[in-house]
Amino acid sequence: MSCAQRLARLNLTWDRIWQRTAVQLASGLVLLTSLSPLHAQTYRLPDLGSSAETLLSSGAEVRLGQVFMRRVREALPVLDEPLLTDYIESLGQTLVSADRAAAGRFTFFVIDQPVVNAFAGPGGHIGVYAGLILAAETESELAAVIAHEIAHVTQRHLLRGLEDQSKISVPAMALMIAAAILGAQVSPDAGAAAMVGVQAAALQRQINFTRENEHEADRLGITTLAKAGFDPYAMAGFFERLSKSSRIAAYSAPEFLRTHPVNSNRIAEALGRADDFGARQHPDSLRFHLARAALRERSYKRPEQAVAHFRDTLREGRHRSSIAEHYGYALALTRAGQLEAARAALTTAMQAHVSVPEFVVLEARLDHAQGQSERAVQHLAQAVGLSPSHWPLRVAYAEALLHAGRPKQAMDELSAVARLRPGNPMLYDKLEQAAFRAGQQAATHRFRAEKLYAEGDREPAIRQLEIALRQRDLPYHEAAQIQARLEMWQAEEREAKRRERE
């Protein structure tokens, strides 16, 4: 059997495993759980990256990336907050623009978990955990990790890893990937005997390949970091700080160190590579500090805890940006229902930064909460007029329109954003709400279908489209669009079932 055939069969096996299992993707979907006869040990597959053209076509890679993201959404709490998403996308695209090898589309997203880690997936999908953003003391440190993950994608480490493993039998390869995907759900006893048989030949080869990947990603990531104007020493500095913290707290080492093993040699090599570029001062952007403040506020389950945190840090001066700290304080007070105090904190933050989108959106939230919905609409309309390409402002404007009782206008605004950002469940969820309030039943079912499909639930999505087509007074052009979408999804479903029978 050829390598391409083996990979095709592997992809089918992979897809079936994902479809039948509610997966908890531990450690950024890159852990390989290997079981020895005496105890469990944890190893890692290479970070999922884009593939070699000889093994997987660009179209197949895109489809694999789409499936990958649906499974990520099933297993992990992807944070669809527009402002935070926009920040991590902007930072990621700045780095992509500085990397000549970074061809094609990249998608950056935040996972709402306090894990210090990041991962790269097929099709250029790069996930960054909230815990990593909070652990990064400078924007250059955060950029260093993202640049590292971009290098995993550009160097096609996933397919290079699978090509290396194609020398091993397909069942062994499938077993290793299944263990990696299932992660912590694999019982310490289940499959141990089977894994022992492939450990010596396959696992050691995998570990060596992983080390090569990590060093290559470091080297190229530092180059990208420097070309983008960030501090090239940030990668080594971040690695060293995480390593020191893990030695102090041996039982709470960051996940980044588990999935990206760091030793003194790796740190020394990163420092040597940075020496080629020299030190560069890169002041942190305000958005970096605002993102960290927003994530810090979200990290507290109870609003009074968040209020106490920001009150204390402001009083004691324990912060890097007083503006961002007042913003976090305003967010916490808003969640606690202390609206006047929240507005006062926001006013302090806005003194020299009136047009910052984060502040404009929060001010509109406060207006709505205090019964001034029309004022929120007016302020957001002005902001969108000044920055029409800023999609988080447009989403906030649509929400304000919805709150003000203008669902049809909200639908129009959200539809325009969805055309630019297809496949986003959050946008389809808001469109469904707007269509329902506008009394448009067909559109309600259609947007519900798009949300379900984006989340990987194809069968119920098909049923929603069928319901949409049965609605009365459905305009011809809308019916034609829904019918075309329905036929495409039905064909996908038939193909998936055919592959399951093979």
DSSP three-state, residue 109: strand
d(CA 356, CA 178): 45
123-177 tens-digit pLDDT:
888 999 999 999 999 999 999 999 999 998 888 776 666 555 545 433 333 344 3
Out of 47, 89, 218, 255, the active site residue is 218
Domain ranges of the chain: 3-275
What is the band of 365 on the pLDDT scale with cuts at 50, 70, 90?
A: very high
What is the band of 258 on the pLDDT scale with cuts at 50, 70, 90?
A: low
Residues contacting 456, CB < 8 A, separation 6+: 67, 70, 71, 73, 74
Q: How many other C-beta atoms can be found within 10 angstroms of the C-beta atom of residue 117?
A: 25
| Tokens 């269509």 sit on residue | 435
Sign of dihedral through CA atoms 25, 26, 28, 34?
negative
pLDDT at 179 over 80: no
**Average pLDDT for residues 51-67, to the nearest whole number?**
62
| Choice between 248 and 65, residue whose per-residue pLDDT is larger | 65
d(CA 134, CA 291): 9
Residue 497, pLDDT score:
80
Q: How many helices (H) and strands (E) does the chain have?
A: 24, 6
Q: Are 128 and 145 in contact (CB under 8 A)?
A: yes
List the structure tokens of 222.
């530092």
d(CA 135, CA 11): 35
- In SS3 terms, 391-453 reads as HHHHHHHHHHHHHCCCHHHHHHHHHHHHHHCCCCHHHHHHHHHHHHHCCCHHHHHHHHHHHHH
- State yes or no: is 218 an active-site residue: yes
Binding residues are 148, 152, 214
- State yes or no: is 149 an active-site residue: yes
Residue type, position 116, single letter: V
By mean pLDDT, which of 70-74, 85-89, 188-192, 290-294 is the weakest? Answer: 188-192
| Tokens 């940030």 sit on residue | 234
Binding residues for Zn(2+) are 148, 152, 214
Q: Are 153 and 144 in contact (CB under 8 A)?
A: no
24-48 tens-digit pLDDT:
333 333 332 222 332 333 333 334 4
DSSP three-state, residue 260: coil
Out of 99, 149, 450, 455, the active site residue is 149
